[in-house]
Amino acid sequence: MKRLSLFFALLMLSVTTILSQKIITGKVLDETGEALIGANVQAKGTTFGTVTDVEGSYTLTVPTETKFITFTFLGYATTDVPIGSTNVVSTILRSSADILTEVVVTGTGSATSKAKIGISVESIKGDRLSQVAIAGIDQALVGKIPGAQISSVSGNPGDQVNIVLRGINTVQAGTRPMILLDGIEIPFSNLNTLDLTQVERVEVVQGAASASLYGAQGANGVIQIFTKKGTKGTLNINVSTSYANNIYINSGNFGKASLHPYLTDGSGNIVSALASGGFKAGQAITIDPLTGIVPGSGSLAYRYGTNVPGVGSSAPGATENYTRYGILDPRNIADQPYKGSLQYYDHFAQVFQSAPSSNVSLNINGGGDKVDYSFTLANNRNNSALLKDNGYLDRTNLVANIGIELFKNFTLRSITNLVYIDNTMHPNIGAGGGTFYGQGNLNAYVGGVYGFLNTSPFFDLTAKNSDGDYTSYNRASFASVNAFNPFYRLEYTNSDDKRIDIIQNLSANYKVNRFVTLDGRFGLSHRNENAYWTFYNQSLNANTIDQGSWASWYNGSDETGEVDNFQYENTKINFFGSATVKLDFANDLKLGIPLQSTTIGGYDYRNNKYREYDTWGQSLPLNPPINLLSTKQQYAILDYVEPFVTYGFVLDQKFDYSNLFGVGGGFRTDYSSAFGAGSKPFTFPHGNAYLNINSFEFWNGLSKSIPIFRFRAAYGQAGIQPGAFDRYPVITQQPTGNELAYTNQVTSRNPDLDVEVSTEKEIGTDIGVKLFGGNWLKDMNINLTYWERKTDNAIFNQNVPPSTGATKLITNAIGLASNGIQLGIKFTVLTSKNFNWDIITNFGHQSTTITKVNGGDIPLTSFAGSTSLVLTPGAKVGQIFGYKALTSISQARADGSPFIAEAQKANYEIVEGRVVNKATNAIFFSDEASSFGDPNPKLISSIISNMSYKDVISFGFQFDAVTGTHLYNQTNEWMYRDGISSDFAKPVTINGKTAAYSSYYASAYYALGTTSKGVGNNVTKDFFYEDASFVRLRNVTLGFDFSRLVSARWLKKCQLVLSGRNLLTFTNYSGMDPEISSGASNSAFDRGIDHSTIPNLKSYQATLNFSF
């Protein structure tokens, strides 16, 4: 290196000549007249340059023959201004309508103008991120990145969004992209723990071609967040406070039927069918005040069945009215209101509450000559909207960003993020905790939602029994058997979940000379979380004792409660050191060709360590203190450590020929601990090129109307690591009673496992069009990218013959191929002195197909339980398989034989598009499973509009639209079991008669083929597979800055912002929220299922921003 720098130094000497000079002065302002501090000022075609000071002024010595001064500033259009006779050159920089003038870092290695890169890099400035109530960066990114599918899949505070950037490239590792914070990798789960107000800008590289720089882990793309720096020279104090009210979305008016088909007496009271549970036959049913149940298994009954006294015994339903299958009797109609002792309760209103959230932040920033600083203290609190007293998620961020120029051209920057998160929500309804929760791949468990959904509506969830307790299991004979009251959880459980994250980033940047820049970055992120759950002793609850139903996590043995302690520790160390050498062949080497060379060599080291230690104690006393010591027995559940080390080198060489074209390429090579010490490194090549057609002379004529026209193309590979231990076969340490034993792994590990390699090609074009002169619709920028990628060796658990004693083997089983298109169009609608308006539209489509599965199809279950998925060649990833209703009476089976024999056809008709038996009202579902089709949205799009008047009034909105997407409404299917879904009260016309036939709807749950029940129970049927396309008013914002109305100079900003999020949703989806998904967080395949999920929130927010 020493020799290298000597060489460069000599090189510099050789090109240095003594020139006559002149001094230029001037000032740089923005469109509002504010001074721009730190703008780059350069004598065009030379290396003479400086930056503007705190007044926006500069002084620059330039060679006398210099004709132009070039002004550049991030986010503003680069401007060349001719030097006049006065030697005073001032300018107003226009904020960049043409995003190609933006400078990006991610995926390129060094700051590069978008006009000179061959890959697509999306960037968004912090002030363009939506200020959402939840104050998470991930939520704020929804809709902002063209092509990216970012979905807000849950309304539970703290839950992560699902991000699919470019296709499914791995099945095992999910779709989570890599997250960088100021150049240093941090865990994905930190994306929503960072303070949104501190984001300067976000850059996203979506594919392997651009993420190749990040090597063996970058295949899912990279999101890089840059935090705000202090402004040199001024002291700024920013205070922001906001308050929001959040309400659950229920765009499908989802709920429970208020009409019922049960057996009633003349007054409409629901009566007992038999002498059962203490009721006489015909006696009105009541809820036992102590146990909270409807006793007796012969009490509750449907009006009809085969055993109704006086009706006869050979009814078409062939079942008894006091069993759950009585619902299938075609005479039952849900047309009776609940009366007397059994009233209707709106459980959704009882459980889903409106909840407040608040944000407060204080930022102080400034700087001197050599130092800049920014300190932020922010707090965000979101109350759970699931049950009124469920608790909250409270996050405090302390951020310090300090930059120091130690000596000339050597800057040191330290960015510290301290995050403290306090989650007080209760276990099973939002509390953090559980095995491997600390790895950040799991959302908080909300399985407790299911129980209330499946409680019969004649139970009052908020009612306490005669002992003054909530009851857990509100069962009524055959109905409500999947009930569990969430209010019971409030009474008998508690969670204390505290998390501290420290993210420290120290970087040094040394511009050795104008050729060589050295950069070293060291980052450390550490997450420490402790969740402490208490399940109190429930043995005094009459319902618990009577029904044997209690709240628990580990203690399945009895109702005496437990204490669970989950301790997580996650440390990530990342060092990246690089040297960048820039060489201009024309100026530096005097070679006479306008060629610039950029060489980057880097070394990247990452070390992750995850540790988890879980313990629990069984059986708590009835009296305090309630802690681990007071439990009867204690157990260690998990003592786990997962180290992962990888390091590698990156080399990237790029040549730019003037502004006309450029080519670049390089490789990255990585070692990984998943492969052990003896392994060879993996090498991933990349290359890209661009061609700026608008820079050629022949374009001059067109440049007035189409100033930008360029092509770019890129190719790259990036890898995805197998799990840390997937290649190491072990036996399992299995606690057995009070002893230890060893067992065989049921899923065998595979020492031959290879890294997953994703290969991508992308081509794109950027077009800038001048539309009209004047202020209106001045210009339009189009960025279009088409990409294709494939992974030949995605890792997954392939089934093996069970006779081998194992059921699965981790192997490179799956081939995947994806393609997609992304399009961003920005319109400058209006630019005038006082009024600015722009509209950004983003579009994307992507789809992933399974090209091969080594070893045969892989059937798997989704997170949603009974919904089947199969990984099979030719199918889309995430495709749901199930049984479709016949749509034609003459429909044939796969073998050509008809489903319905000729003689039987008269018994069927088409009802709501499906074949229905006119006698039994049952929908005829094919018993031949088939795919429900492509689960991927056909198009995802967003329209984002921003208007401002004199910087006093601002108004913006964002509409997101997802079309052609589907959800499997498993929530509803479960509610079909007892016929409590509100669908059951909807009349339907069968055989000429219109009524709310229970048997019609219930058949969608129970029937399959010609069998009315049993085989069909809750299996996957297309009846519940719904179009979940939607248009959503994601944000609407109205801001007013009062500081312009007062003359206080010290007040820079006094802004009131009224905003709303998710206020409107247009959809045909019948569930609560078409955007949610209950699958595992960021799962590759487990998407598109709505199973007892918490819907997103509709928020009304008021924010006050002050700047001094």
Residue 388 tokens read as: 């009124």
Residue 866 tokens read as: 């009974």
Contact 188, 413 (CB under 8 A): no
Residue 355 tokens read as: 């909840």
Nearer to other proteins, 378 or 869 (CB): 869
User: Is 751 near other proteins (CB under 8 A)?
Assistant: no
**Footprint (CB under 8 A) of other proteins, residues 612-631:** 618
DSSP strand E in 693-807: where?
708-720, 731-736, 739-744, 747-748, 756-770, 776-799
**Footprint (CB under 8 A) of other proteins, residues 772-791:** none
How far apart, in whole angstroms, are the C-alpha atoms of residue 497 and residue 530?
6
User: Is 283 near other proteins (CB under 8 A)?
Assistant: no
What SS3 class is residue 851?
Answer: strand
Place of tokens 């759970």: 384
Contacting other proteins (CB under 8 A), which of 111, 622, 702, 741? Answer: 741
**Footprint (CB under 8 A) of other proteins, residues 287-306:** 295-298, 306
- Rounded to a whole number of angstroms, the minimum distance from the CB of residue 880 to other proteins is 11
- Rounded to a whole number of angstroms, the minimum distance from the CB of residue 889 to other proteins is 21
Nearer to other proteins, 7 or 1066 (CB): 7
Nearer to other proteins, 66 or 765 (CB): 66
How far apart, in whole angstroms, are the C-alpha atoms of residue 306 and residue 320?
5
Tally of residues, the chain:
1108
- Rounded to a whole number of angstroms, the minimum distance from the CB of residue 368 to other proteins is 23
What SS3 class is residue 919?
Answer: coil
User: Is 516 near other proteins (CB under 8 A)?
Assistant: yes
Contacting other proteins (CB under 8 A), which of 487, 533, 675, 997? Answer: 675
Contact 1033, 1064 (CB under 8 A): yes
**Footprint (CB under 8 A) of other proteins, residues 205-264:** none
Contact 168, 848 (CB under 8 A): yes
Residue 861 bridge partners (DSSP): 868
Contacting other proteins (CB under 8 A), which of 235, 540, 730, 910? Answer: 730
User: Is 643 near other proteins (CB under 8 A)?
Assistant: yes
Contacting other proteins (CB under 8 A), which of 68, 635, 1040, 1106? Answer: 635
Nearer to other proteins, 578 or 849 (CB): 578
DSSP letter for each residue of 466-480: TTS---S---BTTBS
Contacting other proteins (CB under 8 A), which of 731, 910, 1056, 1102? Answer: 731
Residue 327 tokens read as: 């619902």
Nearer to other proteins, 9 or 35 (CB): 9
φ/ψ of 655, rounded to 5, equals -120, 130
Q: What letter represents residue 173's amino acid?
A: A
**Footprint (CB under 8 A) of other proteins, residues 578-607:** 579, 603, 605, 607
* 1057: nearest Cα among 225, 240, 105: 240
**Footprint (CB under 8 A) of other proteins, residues 325-344:** 325
Contacting other proteins (CB under 8 A), which of 335, 405, 569, 927? Answer: 927
Nearer to other proteins, 21 or 890 (CB): 21
Nearer to other proteins, 642 or 754 (CB): 642
Total residues contacting other proteins by CB under 8 A comes to 128
Residue 449 tokens read as: 């939602």
Nearer to other proteins, 276 or 541 (CB): 276
Contacting other proteins (CB under 8 A), which of 466, 705, 743, 930? Answer: 743
* 793: nearest Cα among 821, 752, 847: 752
- Rounded to a whole number of angstroms, the minimum distance from the CB of residue 474 to other proteins is 13
**Footprint (CB under 8 A) of other proteins, residues 395-434:** 410
Nearer to other proteins, 625 or 801 (CB): 801
Q: What is the 3-state secondary structure (H, E, C) of 338-357?
A: CCCCCCCCCHHHHHECCEEE
**Footprint (CB under 8 A) of other proteins, residues 1066-1105:** none
> Pairing between strand 953-963 and 966-969?
unpaired
Contacting other proteins (CB under 8 A), which of 87, 807, 930, 1068? Answer: 807
- The packing angle between helices 970-977 and 998-1006, to 10°, is 120
**Footprint (CB under 8 A) of other proteins, residues 834-873:** 855-857, 859-861, 865-866, 868, 870
User: Is 274 near other proteins (CB under 8 A)?
Assistant: yes
- Rounded to a whole number of angstroms, the minimum distance from the CB of residue 547 to other proteins is 6
| DSSP summary character for residue 444 | P
Q: What letter represents residue 441's amino acid?
A: N
Q: How many CB atoms lie within 10 A of CB 248?
A: 21
* 724: nearest Cα among 755, 682, 703, 763: 755
Contacting other proteins (CB under 8 A), which of 311, 782, 800, 1038? Answer: 800
φ/ψ of 129, rounded to 5, equals -80, 145
Contact 825, 782 (CB under 8 A): yes
**Footprint (CB under 8 A) of other proteins, residues 435-494:** 475, 478, 481-482
How far is the CA of 972 from the CAs of 435, 504, 933, in angstroms? 29, 46, 20
Q: Cα angle vertex 937, ends 933, 942, to 5°?
A: 170
How far is the CA of 1037 from the CAs of 150, 951, 1052, 1061, 1105, in angstroms? 21, 14, 20, 9, 14
Residue 1002 tokens read as: 């219930």
What SS3 class is residue 327?
Answer: helix
What SS3 class is residue 71?
Answer: strand
Nearer to other proteins, 41 or 777 (CB): 41
- Rounded to a whole number of angstroms, the minimum distance from the CB of residue 865 to other proteins is 8
**Footprint (CB under 8 A) of other proteins, residues 55-84:** 61
**Footprint (CB under 8 A) of other proteins, residues 24-53:** 48
User: Is 518 near other proteins (CB under 8 A)?
Assistant: yes
**Footprint (CB under 8 A) of other proteins, residues 536-555:** 546-549, 554
- Rounded to a whole number of angstroms, the minimum distance from the CB of residue 684 to other proteins is 18
Contacting other proteins (CB under 8 A), which of 23, 593, 629, 677? Answer: 677
Nearer to other proteins, 774 or 856 (CB): 856
Q: Which stretch binds other proteins (CB under 8 A): 336-344, 635-643, 759-767, 823-831?
A: 635-643
Place of tokens 């890129």: 714
**Footprint (CB under 8 A) of other proteins, residues 954-1013:** 1010-1013
| DSSP summary character for residue 704 | T
User: Is 930 near other proteins (CB under 8 A)?
Assistant: no
φ/ψ of 585, rounded to 5, equals -65, -30
Nearer to other proteins, 8 or 214 (CB): 8
- Rounded to a whole number of angstroms, the minimum distance from the CB of residue 92 to other proteins is 30
- Rounded to a whole number of angstroms, the minimum distance from the CB of residue 329 to other proteins is 12
User: Is 556 near other proteins (CB under 8 A)?
Assistant: yes
User: Is 20 near other proteins (CB under 8 A)?
Assistant: no
Contacting other proteins (CB under 8 A), which of 289, 368, 774, 805? Answer: 805
Contact 390, 357 (CB under 8 A): no
Nearer to other proteins, 363 or 868 (CB): 868
What SS3 class is residue 833?
Answer: coil
How far apart, in whole angstroms, are the C-alpha atoms of residue 154 and residue 960?
17
Contacting other proteins (CB under 8 A), which of 324, 331, 712, 1032? Answer: 324
Contact 576, 184 (CB under 8 A): yes
Q: Which stretch binds other proteins (CB under 8 A): 104-112, 312-320, 440-448, 995-1003?
A: 312-320
**Footprint (CB under 8 A) of other proteins, residues 1014-1033:** 1014-1015, 1017-1019
